[in-house]
Amino acid sequence: MIGFLFCSHGVAELGPSRAGQFVHLMPVFGAALAFVFLGQPLSTPQIVGAGLVLAGIVLIELATRSA
């Protein structure tokens, strides 16, 4: 329930179009939490994918700030 409240607050603060970009971070956090709490190893494709997701979010944020 707390997660949903934080999510709703984030959408209210950022707006739906900007907050929607961060949905793509869910698999990144899922893999990171599985690594930390379950001891599952991270594979190269997971690390590359996380980098691509983060790079995409950074590019979108930079583009919206300069516009």
Summarize pLDDT for 1-27 with one digit per residue, the tens. 898 898 899 899 988 888 888 888 989
Distance between CA 45 and CA 53 in Å, rounded?
Answer: 12
Which stretches of the chain are DSSP H helices? 2-14, 16-19, 26-33, 44-66
- Inform me whether the pLDDT recorded for 67 exceeds 80: no
pLDDT given for residue 36 in this prediction? 96
pLDDT given for residue 63 in this prediction? 87
**Is-contact 46 31, C-beta < 8 A?**
yes
Distance between CA 17 and CA 3 in Å, rounded?
Answer: 19
pLDDT given for residue 48 in this prediction? 97
pLDDT given for residue 52 in this prediction? 96
- Helix, coil or strand: residue 15: coil
- Inform me whether the pLDDT recorded for 66 exceeds 90: no
pLDDT given for residue 33 in this prediction? 94
